[in-house]
C-alpha cells in the first residue's frame, strides 16, 4: 500500500510541477500515521515542493490532492497542519492484504530477484586463535541477519569470512600449543610471555600429539605429532580452531560462502600491486624513512604510514588491498560488520580506495559497527569461561539460552547500542521474553487451526476471503494494517542496514495478534465470519514465519 501511494503521489506531483522549474523529488516520503485519527499514511511531499514552487506548503498540498485520483485504495484524503497529506485507506484495501499474503505465502514481502545487483556482507572475520566470544556472536547474528534481509530485498548476497592465517597472533598460537605439547602449563617456567592460557590450547595440543586429522570449511590438516615442528603445529592449530569456529557458527545457524585469507593478499602480490598503484597515483610521500599516504586529502584527520621505517606494511594497507579485491569481484554494495574498535580504520581504508582513483564511490564500503555485550545471570555479570580462560564464548550462550533466543537477543537492539544479554530472561517462558512472545503467537495460530477438527468445524479459505469485509473491529483493522507494512519494513531494514527493525516489527505484530486473539473468538458458529477471522490468523502466521526466517529464528507450531 505504501508503494501504491508513492506511485499515486508521484503522478500527482508530476502534474503539479509541470511547466515549472521545480524538480521531481528523488524520494517521496510516505509513512504510517502515528495517530490513527490522522489516517493510515501521511506524506510531507508538499512541504518539500513549497520552496521550489514558490508557494505556501498548504497551497501545494491542495494542488496535489486535487490531482490525486479518488477511489481504489483511498477512502479519503485530508490536509493537516502546514501541509501534511493524510490518507485514509478504503476497507477493501486492508482486506486485500490478507488475500495477498495467503496467495504469496513464503514470498510475501520477499524479493529474491537479485535485480539490485551484487552485495557482500563480511562479518565475524575472527582470527583462529581461540573460541568465538559473545562479541563475535553479536557480529554473527547482525551480519547473518543483514545478509538475509538484503537477499530478501532484491540483492545477490555473498557472505564472506576474512581472517589472518599468519602474523604475530598466529605465531603466538603456535608457541602456546607447542608449550602445552611439551607439558608446560600457564604459570610454569618456560611458558610463553603472551601465551594463550585457555583450556582449549591443551585440547589442541593433545589432538596434535594424537596425530588427528581436522577438517574446517576451508582447510583440512593431519597432525604430524612432532613437538619440534613449529610450522606443523601452527598449521594444525589454525585448522583445529577454524573447525571449532565452524562448529559454533553452524550451531548458530550461520554459514559462509567465501573464506578469504589475509596471507593470499601477499602470496598473490595484491598488497604490492596496491602499494605501487597508490605510489603511481601521486598521493604518497617519503618522510622519516617511512612511506606515507596523504589520507587527509580524502577526509582523514591525519596522514597514515603505509610502510614502516623498520620495514613491513601497517595494518590498513592489506585492508585496502582486500577491498580492491572486493571491488574487482563486482560487488556494488559491500558491508563490513565489525566491532566498534574498528572505527578508526574506516576513514583510512576509504581514503586509500579513493586515492587509487579506480571508480570506487565515496562512502564505499559501508560499515556496521556493533557495541559490546554484557552477559548477566542471576543479576550478576558473567565474565569468564573455563574453556576460553578469559571471556564468555558464543557456545556458552547457545548452550545456556538456545540458538533462537541467542540470535534474537543479539540482533534485537540497534548495533551501535550496548547490549545486556540476560540469560535468565532469554530462558524464561513468559511474555517478558520477546522471542518466546513472538514464537508463541505463531504457535497460537497453529493451535487455532488444529482446534477446528476437535470442535467439528471447518475452514474454507475462499469463503473467508469473501467475508473479509466483516473484519471491521479495531483490533482486526490494526492487525491487518501492521501485516501490510511487512514488505516496506524489509526494504527499509535492507536500505538502512538495520536488522533490529525486523525484530521490533515482529514483536509489535505478535502483540497485535495476541490482542486480537483475546478480544475476539475465532471458533464461532457463524461460518463466514469464522473463516474471515481464520484467514486473518493464517495470514499473521505466514508473516511471522517470513519475518522469523530473516532473523534465523524458528517458528514452532507447538509450545
Contact 146, 121 (CB under 8 A): yes
Mean residue pLDDT of the chain comes to: 94
Q: What secondary structure does DSSP assign to 223-280, as a single string?
A: ----TT-HHHHHHHHHHHHHHHHHHHHHHTT---SEEEEHHHHHHTTHHHHHHHHHHH
Residue 491: the pLDDT is 94
Using 50, 70 and 90 to split pLDDT, how confident is the model at 390?
Answer: low
Percent pLDDT > 90 in the chain is 83
Please tell me the distance from the alpha carbon of residue 508 to that of residue 520, in angstroms, as a whole number: 18
Contact 489, 505 (CB under 8 A): yes
What are 38-74's pLDDT values in tens digits?
Answer: 888 899 999 999 999 999 999 999 999 999 988 778 8
Domains and CATH numbers, the chain: 2-89 (3.30.1360.70), 96-111+431-551 (1.10.730.10), 375-427 (no CATH)
Residue 289 DSSP one-character state: T
Residue 245's Cα: distance from chain center in Å? 20
Residue 412: the pLDDT is 96
Taking CB atoms within 8 Å and a gap of at least 24, the contacts of 25-33 are 25/49, 30/2, 30/5, 30/6, 30/87, 32/2, 32/481, 32/485, 33/86
Place of cell 569456529: 245
Using 50, 70 and 90 to split pLDDT, how confident is the model at 389?
Answer: low
pTM of the model: 0.88
Residue 346: the pLDDT is 93
Burial class (CB in 10 A: 0-12, 13-18, 19+), 130: buried
Round to the nearest angstrom and report the end-to-end CA distance of the chain. 34
What are 210-252's pLDDT values in tens digits?
Answer: 999 999 998 999 999 999 999 999 999 999 999 999 999 999 9
Give the C-alpha distances (Å, rounded to integers) separating 74 from 29, 91, 229, 261, 443. 17, 9, 76, 55, 34
Residues counted in the chain? 559
Residue 166: the pLDDT is 79
Tell me the β-bridge partners of 304: 293
Give the C-alpha distances (Å, rounded to integers) separating 502 from 99, 411, 488. 22, 9, 11
Residue 32: the pLDDT is 82
Using 50, 70 and 90 to split pLDDT, how confident is the model at 91?
Answer: confident
Place of cell 604490492: 272
What are 518-557's pLDDT values in tens digits?
Answer: 999 999 999 999 999 999 999 999 999 999 999 999 999 9
pLDDT at 388 > cutoff 70: no
Q: What secondary structure does DSSP assign to 171-198, as a single string?
A: HHHHHHHHHHHTT--TTSTT--TT---S
What are 2-26's pLDDT values in tens digits?
Answer: 888 998 999 999 999 999 989 998 8
Of 553, 550, 496, the C-alpha closest to 109 is 550
Which span out of 195-199, 277-281, 307-311 was modeled with the highest average pLDDT? 277-281
Residue 555: the pLDDT is 98
**Residue partners of 513: CB distance under 8 A and separation at least 6:** 441, 444, 445, 479, 537, 540, 544
Amino acid at each position: 500500500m505504501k508503494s501504491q501511494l508513492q506511485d499515486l503521489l508521484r503522478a500527482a506531483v508530476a502534474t503539479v510541477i509541470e511547466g515549472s522549474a521545480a524538480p521531481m523529488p528523488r524520494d517521496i516520503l510516505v509513512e504510517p500515521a502515528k495517530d490513527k485519527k490522522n489516517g493510515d499514511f501521511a506524506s510531507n511531499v508538499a512541504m518539500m515542493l513549497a520552496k521550489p514552487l514558490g508557494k505556501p506548503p498548504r497551497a501545494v498540498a491542495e494542488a496535489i490532492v486535487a490531482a490525486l485520483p479518488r477511489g481504489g485504495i483511498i477512502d479519503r484524503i485530508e490536509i493537516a497542519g502546514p501541509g501534511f497529506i493524510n490518507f485514509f485507506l478504503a476497507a477493501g484495501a486492508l482486506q486485500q492484504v490478507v488475500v495477498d499474503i495467503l496467495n504469496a505465502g513464503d514470498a510475501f514481502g520477499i524479493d529474491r530477484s537479485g535485480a539490485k545487483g551484487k552485495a557482500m556482507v563480511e562479518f565475524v572475520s575472527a582470527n583462529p586463535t581461540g573460541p568465538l566470544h559473545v562479541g563475535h556472536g553479536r557480529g554473527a547474528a547482525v551480519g547473518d541477519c543483514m545478509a538475509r534481509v538484503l537477499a530478501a530485498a532484491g540483492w545477490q548476497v555473498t557472505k564472506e569470512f576474512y581472517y589472518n592465517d599468519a602474523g604475530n597472533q598466529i605465531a603466538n598460537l603456535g608457541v602456546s600449543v607447542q608449550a602445552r605439547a611439551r607439558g608446560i602449563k600457564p604459570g610454569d617456567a618456560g611458558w610463553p610471555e603472551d601465551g594463550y592460557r585457555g583450556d582449549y590450547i591443551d585440547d589442541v595440543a593433545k589432538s596434535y600429539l594424537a596425530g588427528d586429522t581436522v577438517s574446517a570449511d576451508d582447510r583440512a590438516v593431519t597432525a604430524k605429532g612432532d613437538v619440534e615442528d613449529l610450522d606443523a603445529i601452527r598449521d594444525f592449530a589454525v585448522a583445529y580452531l577454524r573447525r571449532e569456529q565452524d562448529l559454533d557458527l553452524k550451531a548458530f545457524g550461520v554459514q559462509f560462502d567465501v573464506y578469504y585469507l589475509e596471507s593470499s593478499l601477499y602470496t598473490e602480490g595484491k598488497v604490492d600491486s596496491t602499494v605501487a598503484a597508490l605510489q603511481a597515483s601521486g598521493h604518497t610521500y617519503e618522510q622519516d624513512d617511512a612511506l606515507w599516504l596523504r589520507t587527509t586529502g580524502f577526509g582523514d584527520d591525519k596522514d597514515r604510514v603505509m610502510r614502516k621505517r623498520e620495514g613491513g606494511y601497517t595494518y590498513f594497507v592489506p585492508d585496502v588491498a582486500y577491498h580492491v579485491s572486493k571491488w574487482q569481484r563486482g560487488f556494488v554494495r559491500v558491508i563490513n560488520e565489525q566491532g566498534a574498535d574498528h572505527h578508526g580504520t574506516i576513514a583510512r581504508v576509504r581514503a586509500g580506495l579513493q586515492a587509487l582513483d579506480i571508480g570506487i564511490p565515496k562512502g564505499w564500503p559501508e560499515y556496521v559497527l556493533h557495541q559490546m555485550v554484557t552477559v548477566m545471570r542471576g543479576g550478576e555479570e558473567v565474565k569468564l569461561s573455563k574453556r576460553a580462560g578469559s571471556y564468555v564464548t558464543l557456545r556458552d550462550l547457545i548452550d545456556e539460552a538456545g540458538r533462537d533466543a541467542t540470535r534474537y537477543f543479539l540482533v534485537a537492539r540497534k548495533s551501535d547500542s550496548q547490549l545486556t544479554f540476560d540469560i535468565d530472561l532469554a530462558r524464561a517462558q513468559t511474555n517478558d521474553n520477546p522471542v518466546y512472545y513472538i514464537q508463541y503467537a505463531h504457535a497460537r495460530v497453529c493451535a487455532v487451526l488444529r482446534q477446528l477438527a476437535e470442535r467439528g468445524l471447518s475452514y474454507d479459505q475462499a469463503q473467508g476471503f469473501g467475508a473479509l469485509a466483516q473484519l471491521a473491529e479495531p483490533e482486526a483493522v490494526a492487525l491487518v494494517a501492521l501485516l501490510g507494512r511487512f514488505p516496506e519494513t524489509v526494504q527499509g531494514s535492507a536500505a538502512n542496514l538495520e536488522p533490529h527493525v525486523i525484530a521490533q516489527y515482529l514483536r509489535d505484530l505478535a502483540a497485535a495478534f495476541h490482542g486480537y486473539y483475546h478480544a475476539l473468538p475465532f471458533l464461532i458458529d457463524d461460518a463466514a465470519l469464522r473463516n474471515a477471522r481464520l484467514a486473518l490468523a493464517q495470514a499473521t502466521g505466514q508473516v511471522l514465519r517470513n519475518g522469523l526466517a530473516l532473523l534465523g529464528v524458528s517458528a514452532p507450531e507447538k509450545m
